[in-house]
Structure 1
Amino acid sequence: MSFKKVLGVVLSASLVLMATGCSSSKNNASDDAKVTPYKDIVLGEDFTDLTATITMLNDRTDMEQDDYNGVSWNEYIKEFNKLYPNITVEITTDTNYAEDSLTHLQSGDYETIMGIPALDKEDYSIYFMPLGDIEEMSEEINNATSTMYDGVVYGVPSSATAQGIVYNKKVFEKAGINKLPTTPAEFMDALKAIKDNTDAIPLYTNYAAGWTMGAWDAYIGINATGDTAYMNNKLLHSAEPFKDFGDDTHAYAVYKILYDAVKGGLTEEDYTTTDWEGCKGMINRGEIGCMVLGSWAVPQMKGAGDGADDIGYMAFPISLGGKQYALASADYSYAVNENATVEEKQAAVIFIKWLTEMSGYTYNEEALPIDKASTETKLDFDGVIFLDDDPAQEGEEDLLNELNSESELNFNNGGNTKVQEIVEHASIGDMSYDDIMAEWNAKWAEAQKLCGVEVE
């Protein structure tokens, strides 16, 4: 992948340094015995002489590989060090990040920078340094509310991703699909056309990887309702949120697509043998029609072979009043270890801000920008209305976590097991889809009762 974006911003910063005599207005983080806030740091001018070693834990294992098709972590760090030569950044990645990151936190010995895992928001301040209040951080970054608690922001999203379906354009064309599906019925017809007219697997479930199945949870809010208040507010208080609303919307319509596709033989022959790494090359070569994954998957699928131009991204096939919506949500948010030294904290904030504003990371990864001043993205996702979830009401910031825990359904919180069970029941035929949803409604109702939730 070209380094055009990265080199361009580094060059601009270099010109700034020349204009200021290559001096640094702030160079010693311990001068004031406190960390200069995110919003007040001028990249390329402040702290250019700062010496520190920081560590970073994240989930992007692919970016540590020598054959990574995009910009690797090593390449980013080299560019960062052109501005900050004395800040050493040591990267560690983890394939089981969701669970292992929590273990790191619980040990008390964790990295300087981490992507915030699934914690209760009231516990953010125990582990992470506040980066600024919501008013000032909202002027700096998009999706600032994603790591807000009590008006304070604790993390900066690595990127923002849209929620849709990655697909192979040639497979769809060969199948005779001339218009992208916008409803569940149209999508099922498209899968059948792929099965009948091509050798490709219509819909690849990625069952065996586990975590990939949790992707389906991201579609039950904005994508299926068009309502920014649904996920963090209305769902918590809804009676029977998994019932059939009769209009191909809400959670019922989302998961039914998966159940019907498996039951109809429109997925891989043996779901237990799916291969996450292998599927990237398969869809690139046209051996898979589509997969339900966030837009973060697009560059990975493009980079897995010679068929990059064949990889496309489309909206999830649910329409509301003739319109399609997509959740534009924050990926893991970078946060700074509250127990690090002042020098380490300052270096960490600088590196996070550099990644956000100057590295070109979101552009290179075909994501939506986090930097408030940027509108640049490679993501081609036309005709879709992007929305973000409203934050929870004050006092209910952790209520979704509580309901997830009591119900064991874990929406947007590693709840891949329940989605895997949909595949299992559909394949075996031992439980109808309506019975699965009735079971979920019962679990949710019991959790609401245990948590003292007022049901509307």
Structure 2
Amino acid sequence: MKATKKLVSLGLAAAMVASLTACGSSDKGTESASANKDVPSFDALKVGEDYKDLKADIKILTNRTDIVDTTYKQYAEEFQKLYPNINVTYEGITDYAETVTLRLTNGDWGDICFIPDSVDKSEFSNYFTPLGDYATLDAKYNYVTEKTYDDTVYGIPNGGTAGGIAYNKAVFEKAGITTLPKTPDEFIDDLKLIKEKTDAIPMYTNFAANWTMGAWNDYVGIASDGDPDYKNNVLLHTENPFTKNDENSGPYAVYYTLYTAVADKLVEDDPASSDWESSKKKINDGEIGCMVLGSWCVQQFKDAGDHPDDIGYMPFPISVNGKQSAAAGGNYAYAVNKDSSTDNQIASMLYIKWLLEDSTIFADEGSIPALKGADLPDALSEFKGVELLTNNAAAKGEEDLYDKLTNEAEVLSGNDPVCEVLEAALYGQQSLDDVMNEWNDKWTTAQQSLGIEVNK
């Protein structure tokens, strides 16, 4: 789902021009929303009370191609009971992040989209309507920090997800695994038991899908270090962060887990021919032991076959000082096209707010609700004793430093670096230490290029 940030860099010049002429739909606005006083802030809108006579046709882009014509269509129809003159249409996109990144630069994308991770925070105002100030929206919604720049919120996540591993309980039980792993080596040992005692593929990488590989980057931070400050603050100023430590925690441990599983042939025989859609049914049927993806995948796996109760979700197997932690963060965030007409911007905000506060979307998808204080989904029932944390915001003046550094270093950015780890293990091209040393060198060069102070 993620595109590399290089894509945005290549299109940056075009984006600056396109942002002047970008269309939200066939009904295009002529003024920037950032200066449009007729568009209210997100928090000020009262769904079902305000703008009852508003007429608009809005289009929303989504990565969920599997439910565009079913569940999402039903949401639109339910919303129209409140706003009969607002027509909502969905466009499902398979290669979502890459395709939408390109479409943002030419303006042809509609009224609502999920913000691709390839868009740096400093570029939000080029494309998206300001939704409100950070303090106000953060008090009500989860994870708005992630799509905030200069105290302005440009996107509100469609709920949240926790980082861990989806697994088939029946497969683990058949392999004789009675305790979930808490360290990378315990996890590898469990995969070996699955290979030895069952017919299941121990860990399915879904390498061919590409976007699935980017999930591994999400465990660098809280899951690997237990520190909510690590990702946005500590890591950026750390010297050689990809170096192995005695506890086998930290960033190295994340990629050690992937590399070792592949090198020890505990994954599908030919990762290049793996298939995302069919893998959902395979894990439901017990043909796959586990997959490393965010908790958003659990409901999809449950819905894919006749064995929903066999799908479980475990914390990522890294412990720091004997304790496991898990990061909870936002799913893709809804954003509104700043160049849509005023009516379309307001209609889009009304629909997003209805989805976040009044629809059944979070129960349907098994994700953490957008509203603060709501109950956690059943998918996280096995996280007892695991501290669920959210990344702290970056220091003032460094809000987009993580994007800049990872983009410059070309690590922790997109899916390709993780694919390199898998390929190195699969073909025996490099040891993990060789790969991590290269990453450390790139990291150091990028820190120097950006003038980042390094704590030694």
Is the shorter-chain TM-score for this pair beyond 0.5, marking a shared fold?
yes
Equivalent in the alignment of 2:79 = 80
Deviations 1:366-407 (A, max 9, x none): 000111252253323332211111122222222222222222
Establish whether residue 61 from structure 1 lines up as the match of residue 65 from structure 2. yes
Match of 2:299 in 1: 299
Aligned equivalents of 1:325, 1:376: Cα separation in 2: 16
Relative distance call for 1:88 and 1:408 in structure 2 (3 A) is same
Mapped to 2, the partners of 1:202 and 1:291 lie a distance apart of 9
Number of equivalent positions: 417
In structure 1, distance between residues paired with 2:310 and 2:375: 25
- Which residue of structure 2 lines up, in the alignment, with residue 328 of structure 1? 328
Deviation string 1:69-120 (CA, Å, 9 cap, x unpaired) is: xxx1111111111111111111112111111111111102331111112222
Bigger mean CA offset, 433-442 vs 422-431: 422-431
Alpha-carbon distance in 2 for matches of 1:429, 1:373: 48
Report the equivalent of 1:236: 236
1: CA distance, partners of 2:122 / 2:426: 41
Q: Secondary structure at the match of 2:58?
A: strand
Q: Which amino acid in structure 1 is aligned with residue 96 of structure 2?
A: Y
RMSD across aligned positions (CA): 1.4
Is 1:271 aligned with 2:271? Answer: yes
TM-score with structure 2 setting the length: 0.89
Task: Tell me which amino acid in the other structure corresponds to 1:437.
Answer: M
1:10 aligns to what? none
Alignment-derived partner of residue 106 in structure 1: 105
Distance 2:376 2:178 in 1: 29
Do 2:142 and 2:159's aligned partners in 1 also have CA atoms closer than 8 Å? no
Once the two structures are superposed, the pairs formed by residues 277-316 of structure 1 within 5 Å of their partners are: 277-316=277-316
1:33/1:342 contact within 8 Å kept: no
Q: Does the aligned pair in 1 maintain the 2:163–2:218 contact within 8 Å?
A: yes
> Is the Cα–Cα contact under 8 Å of residues 363 and 378 in structure 1 kept in the other structure?
no
**Contact 2:312–2:379 (Cα < 8 Å) also in 1:** no
- AA at the equivalent of 2:348: A
Q: Is the 8 A contact 2:62 2:93 kept in 1?
A: yes
Q: Distance in 2 between matches of 1:395 and 1:77?
A: 40
| 1:423 partner amino acid | L
Query: Retained in 1: the 8 A contact 2:157–2:334?
Result: yes
Secondary structure at the aligned position of 2:217 is classed as: helix
- Paired position in structure 1 for 2:164: 164
TM-score (norm 1): 0.89
Which residues of structure 1 form unaligned runs of 5+?
1-31, 67-71
Give the AA of the match of 1:47. Y
CA contact (8 A) 1:129 1:335 kept: yes
Contact 1:363-1:376 at 8 Å conserved across structures: no
Q: Write the distance in 2 (CA, Å) between the matches of 1:77 and 1:276.
A: 27
For residue 296 of structure 1, report the CA deviation from its aligned partner. Answer: 0.9
Task: Name the aligned partner's letter for residue 406 of structure 1.
Answer: E
**What is the correspondence of 1:56-455 to structure 2 with a 5 Å cutoff?**
56-65=60-69, 72-117=71-116, 118-372=118-372, 374-375=374-375, 377-381=377-381, 382-383=383-384, 384-409=386-411, 411=412, 413-414=413-414, 416-455=415-454
Map of 1:44 onto structure 2? 48
User: Cα deviation per residue 1:213-241 (whole Å; 9 max; x = unaligned)?
Assistant: 11100001110001111111111111000
1:321 Cα deviation from its structure 2 partner = 2.6
Shift of residue 65 of structure 1?
5.0
> Contact conserved, 2:243 with 2:436, CA < 8 A, in 1?
yes
Instruction: State, as a whole percentage, how many aligned pairs show the same letter.
Output: 48
In the TM superposition, structure 1's runs of 4+ consecutive aligned residues that sit over 4 Å from their partners are none
Q: Cα–Cα, structure 1 residues 199 and 349, in superposed 2: closer, same or farther, change >3 Å?
A: same
Contact 2:241-2:440 within 8 A present in 1 as well: yes
Q: Contact 2:356 / 2:371 at 8 angstroms: preserved in 1?
A: yes
Mapped partners of 1:126, 1:205: distance in 2: 36
Q: What do residues 36-82 of structure 1 show as CA deviations (whole Å, max 9, x unaligned)?
A: 3221222222222221111111211111255xxxxx11111111111
Letter in 1 for 2:43: K
Is the Cα–Cα contact under 8 Å of residues 55 and 113 in structure 1 kept in the other structure? yes
Cα shift readout 1:295-322 (whole Å, capped 9, x = no counterpart)? 1111111111101110000000011233
Give how far 1:264 is off.
Answer: 1.1
